[in-house]
Structure 1
Amino acid sequence: MNELELKYGCNPNQKPARIFMKDGSDLPVTVLCGKPGYINFLDALNSWQLVRELAKATGMPAAASFKHVSPAGAAVGRPLSGVERQIYFVEDEGEPSPIACAYIRARGADRMSSYGDWAALSEVCDADVARYLRREVSDGIIAPGYTEEALQILGAKKGGRYNVVQVDPSYQPAPTEVKDVFGISFEQGHNDFRIDRGLLGNVVTRNREVPETALVDMIVSLITLKYTQSNSVCYVKDGQAIGVGAGQQSRIHCTRLAGGKADTWYLRQHPKVLGLRFVEGIRRANRDNAIDVYVSDEHDDVLAEGEWQKWFAERPEVLTREERAAWIAAQTGVTLGSDAFFPFGDNVERAHKSGASYIVEPGGSIRDDNVIETADKYGIAMCFTGMRLFHH
């Protein structure tokens, strides 16, 4: 089959809508369940490229959680720590498979943004992934295959309407890609630029120590950015994106946005947050909302008389502004990647506040000296790749 009709395009008024192969060949995707829409397929095809490339570059299973054609999170399949199991809500399960760990960590990067996501896996979807997804609000999944048990579980989600797409892992796109805007066709070469360790040799700061873990995190960050709407930056720790800032006109706003998400991810691990007791039967999304507000500057609103009772089984102890600041200040070992050069040192200043110890960016600004000087001020090791990674 070389064509698939869609309900509508980006919006209900945009009809007709379809995906198809111009050369008449078969589509490299098969819908196993549900009826994916236009935006679903944009998420599916971009997220599949990300996880395929990330798995190849790291040698580990990879997963992503996509929303509106940008990743809310991406990760490789390292085992979950005890704290991670708690903050990602998998305490009551056995040890998840590596591909399940990858998706759980990808979704856990920013659980607020991952609500209603599109999931992508580099490996066959197994029952561990399916069981986790069954309890989450998600629009669909793309993977190169599914076990029989996984298909049974996913096929029952949303009353059989959950979108399950299988992709041909051997498919390679044409070297030239075309899209139309306002009736005008745009053509460019497919971005097949390879991201691997060979890109990370140009360390430009006084601190030239980049350990293996940071090299992997740089690769995770850069490949995530390659499929994120620009401008974009990505904070990564231990093989997992912990804050993605996408589609901002100003790079410092990207860095602040993503840094705020990274701070929230870290604050979710604070002992006071881990000790929160929720009302019985609370929905997972409501629990995420409660935690997000509890760790934010809106903290006092949560504790307003009567308001907290809809979420918490008992009135939570105040997490003070000083406690939040001290906890975030203790964060370290984070890697920050940028899809284009930093024009000013203020991006490095902001990254440092969220624990950045390593930075990877293209370089090439007329103020590179200032950016390097700011990194040296904090002992940050920074690599210049020489390659921009815009994605639109």
Structure 2
Amino acid sequence: MSRFEIRFSRAKGPTMSQTTQPVRRALISVSDKTGLLDLGRALVAHGAEILSTGGSARALREAGLPVTEVSDHTGFPEILDGRVKTLVPQIHGGILGRRDLPAHVAQMEEHKIAPIDLVAVNLYPFEKTVASGAGAEDCIENIDIGGPALIRAAAKNHGHVVVLTDTAQYAGLIGALEQGGSTLEQRRAYAGAAYARTAAYDAAIAAWFAAQAQDTLPERFVLAGQRAEVLRYGENPHQQAAFYKDGSTRPGVATAVQVQGKALSYNNINDTDAAFEAVAEFDRPAVVIVKHANPCGVAVGDTLSACWDSALRCDPVSAFGGIVALNRTLDAETATKIAGIFTEVIVAPDADEEAKTILARKKNLRLLLTGGLPDAAASGVVVRSVAGGFLAQTRDNGQIKPESLRVVTKRAPSAQEMEDLIFAFRVAKHVKSNAIVYAKNDATVGIGAGQMSRVDSARIAASKSGEAAKAAGLDAPLTQGSVAASDAFFPFADGLETIVAAGATAVIQPGGSIRDDEVIAAADAAGIAMVFTGMRHFRH
């Protein structure tokens, strides 16, 4: 039999796709050389001929392994600076030809197309090139064309061909070779992974082109992520969940190094993200305590230790079992205080060695170090699924500035009130709507979140302030002499009146209600100051 006939069987019975499939000819072309030599040695040891190109061929040859250059196999040289080297019938015919169809067998023999049983390809590093900040020309040159074509062809013909797109798959294939070859089940799994890889690759390219065109929400929106971890469960034990990373370099829970503690849960990840995005709003040292995705205590100050004291005072009950985010390097004094209550996660840009040693005594506490802070003003897109599709919007990166605020009452805020108003409104941006935030002296003193009525949010925040005051041994609620922020306008004066009754002396809100005049009149009647931002922060 010829070298072409040896791979085919015209006998009746099970097809080759239903049996163990040996590898007699493999095509290897990889940019990531991890595990390459182990794979090459295993293939040669089991009698396979290796076809290869460029750096892959050179690495295999230098290791003493026999390699046939693709150009020698096809009789056609690489051209156009290597852009065309595998896009020829001798390669794709060898991959796509079905060994169980006599017509395919006959055509391959007629055209002297040798079958290829394995394709190992990982793609040009387009995503890494973009992440490095490279220019457009470099990015375009790192768009792989031949690689995806080879991968997709091999995956389509997985009944007869093994496709490897991840170096982590090599060990499984090597083990299969030792058992006589790959199984259909294994080849099908690799084929699914292959299509997922090329889909993600194309998604990254599409996103880059959209960014070049400044098309934030393109007509065809594609998403891709790499599964980082299968989680124990989702929001509830009966839900399945996994954590995916999209390759973004934005500092946060996805890029953090977990120094210690148990594995993160679905809710841990969600809450940690909420906490870290909130703490990044502030330039001064800040601490944010989050419970169920809502801040329950926020403070800025001169030291993290002082910030922790103020943030915890706002709602010490809810802080139990919460997430703590800091925007500075965690120090020993602050670490000691945080470790004094049950805390699920601490996330910070960094931590000094003494702080790490202190927290190491709390073996279950997760410590995440991100290496930096996300830019609160940076653009981006957030996505939420709905039945039959998903919603996409730009990230809420709106930030108010003092010069943009409009005083609408007879009395203007004092300098301290204005500082607290801006602080409170920044916090309200990260509280679920309807949101009311009371603040005093650069710290929250009452937070009401997620109520259907804005009046209820104001009442809940004031009530929790009273409870916190009792816990601190104070006679008056913390809201006495505070300011208040509302994430959206007051539709009626009753919400404002509730805030006044709680002891607030100034209010910040977006404005824009048809009853603004009524609300302003109520503020003037109470003698409080009120400013409009012209910007709302609904958070659903």
TM range (shorter): 0.7 to 0.9
- Out of 141, 144, 153, the residue aligned to residue 349 of structure 2 is 144
Match of 1:133 among 335, 338, 357: 338
From the superposition, tell whether residues 227 and 375 of structure 1 become closer, same or farther in structure 2 (CA, over 3 Å).
same
Task: Tell me the amino acid that sits aligned with residue 49 of structure 1.
Answer: E
Name the larger-Rg structure: 2
Report the residue type matching 1:61 in the other structure. Answer: P
* Residue 112 of structure 1: how far off its partner (Å): 1.2
Q: CA deviation digits over 1:293-351, x for unaligned, max 9?
A: xxxxxxxxxxxxxxxxxxxxxxxxxxxxxxx7xx45x9642100000001111112111
Measure the CA separation in 1 of the matches of 2:489 and 2:353.
Answer: 46
Residue 368 of structure 2: which of 154, 161, 165 is its match?
A: 165
Confirm whether residue 51 of structure 1 aligns to residue 275 of structure 2.
Answer: no
Query: What is the alpha-carbon distance in structure 1 between the residues aligned to residue 248 and residue 358 of structure 2?
Result: 36
Q: Assess if the C-alpha contact under 8 Å between 1:262 and 1:354 holds in 2.
A: no
1:198 aligns with 2:198: no
Q: Does 1:17 align with 2:242?
A: yes
Structure 2: gaps of 5 or more residues: 1-224
> Is 1:110 equivalent to 2:315 in the alignment?
yes
Q: 1:142 to 1:365 in 2, by over 3 A?
A: same
CA–CA distance in structure 2, aligned partners of residues 351 and 170 of structure 1: 34
What is the match of residue 256 of structure 2? 29
Are 1:64 and 1:107, in contact at CA under 8 Å, matched by a contact in 2? no
CA 1:12–1:199: 2 relative to 1, 3 Å: farther
**Structure 1 stretches lacking a partner, 5+ long:** 79-97, 275-323
**Alignment partners' CA distance in 2, 1:23 and 1:48:** 16
* Paired position in structure 1 for 2:440: 237
Contact 1:266 1:331 in 2 (8 A): no
Q: Give the aligned residue type for 1:18.
A: F
Q: Distance in 2 between matches of 1:154 and 1:176?
A: 35
User: Hey, what's the Cα distance between the residues in 2 that align with 1:166 and 1:183?
Assistant: 37
Give the superposition deviation at 1:16: 3.4
* 1:72 aligns to 2:296 (yes or no): yes
Secondary structure at 2:426 match in 1 = helix
Query: What is the CA distance between 1:266 and its match in structure 2?
Result: 3.5
Aligned residues: 310
Describe the SS at the equivalent of 1:242.
strand
> Could you tell me how far apart the structure 2 residues matched to 1:337 and 1:241 are?
10
Return 105-114 or 246-255, whichever deviates more. Answer: 105-114
- State the shift of 1:191 in Å: 1.0
Amino acid at match of 1:151: K
Q: Is the 8 A contact 1:139 1:163 kept in 2?
A: yes
Whether the aligned pair in 1 keeps the contact of 2:349 and 2:373 (CA below 8 Å) is no
Report the secondary structure of 2:488's partner residue.
Answer: coil
1:217 paired to 2:444: no
Is residue 335 from structure 1 mapped to residue 538 from structure 2 by the alignment? Answer: no
SS at match of 1:49: helix
Pair 40,361 (structure 1): closer, same or farther in 2 beyond 3 Å: same
Task: Could you list the structure 1 runs, at least 4 aligned residues long, displaced by more than 6 angstroms after superposition.
Answer: 23-26
2:291 is the counterpart of 1:63? no
Q: How far did 1:168 drift?
A: 3.5
2:533 pairs, out of 378, 385, 388, with 385
For residue 513 of structure 2, give the secondary structure of its aligned residue in structure 1: coil
Contact 1:65/1:72, CA 8 A, preserved across alignment? yes
The verdict on how the C-alpha distance between 1:145 and 1:353 changes in structure 2, with shifts beyond 3 A counting, is same
Q: What's the offset of the Cα at 1:212?
A: 2.1
The normalised TM-score by structure 1 is 0.74
In the alignment, the residues of structure 2 paired with residue 250 and residue 156 of structure 1 have an alpha-carbon distance, to the nearest angstrom, of: 44
Are the counterparts in 1 of residues 465 and 479 from structure 2 also a CA contact under 8 Å? no
Greater relative contact order, per chain length (Cα 8 Å cut-off, separation 6+) = 1
Aligned counterpart, 1:207: 411
Q: Is the 8 A contact 2:227 2:242 kept in 1?
A: no
Matches within 5 A, 1:199-348: 199-200=404-405, 202-208=406-412, 210-269=413-472, 273=473, 327-328=476-477, 332-348=480-496
Tell me if structure 2 keeps the 8 A contact 1:103–1:121. no
Q: Which residue identity is paired with 2:258? A: V
TM-score, reference length from structure 2:
0.54
Quote the Cα distance in structure 1 between the aligned partners of 2:404 and 2:244.
Answer: 35
Alignment correspondent of 2:145: none
Identity %: 33
Structure 1 residues 198 and 30 mapped into 2: Cα distance closer, same or farther (>3 Å)? farther
Aligned partners of 2:462, 2:511: CA distance in 1, in Å?
A: 20
Change (3 A) 1:186 1:163: same
Cα pair distance change 1:248/1:170, threshold 3 Å: closer
One-letter amino acid of the counterpart of residue 219, structure 1: I
Secondary structure of the 2:315 match is coil
Q: Please give the residue correspondences for 1:90-109 in structure 2 after superposition, counting only pairs within 5 Å.
A: 98-109=303-314
**Partner of residue 167, structure 2:** none
Q: What CA distance in whole angstroms lies between the structure 1 residues aligned with 2:522 and 2:446?
A: 22
Give the letter for the 1:42 counterpart: N
Aligned pair 1:179/2:384, yes or no? Answer: yes
- Quick one: structure 1 residues 155 and 183, their matched pair in 2 at CA, closer, same or farther if it must change by over 3 Å? farther
Q: 1:174 to 1:204 in 2, by over 3 A?
A: closer
Instruction: State whether residues 483 and 504 of structure 2, in contact with CA within 8 Å, keep that contact through their aligned partners in structure 1.
Output: yes
Distance between the aligned counterparts of 1:23 and 1:124, measured in 2? 23
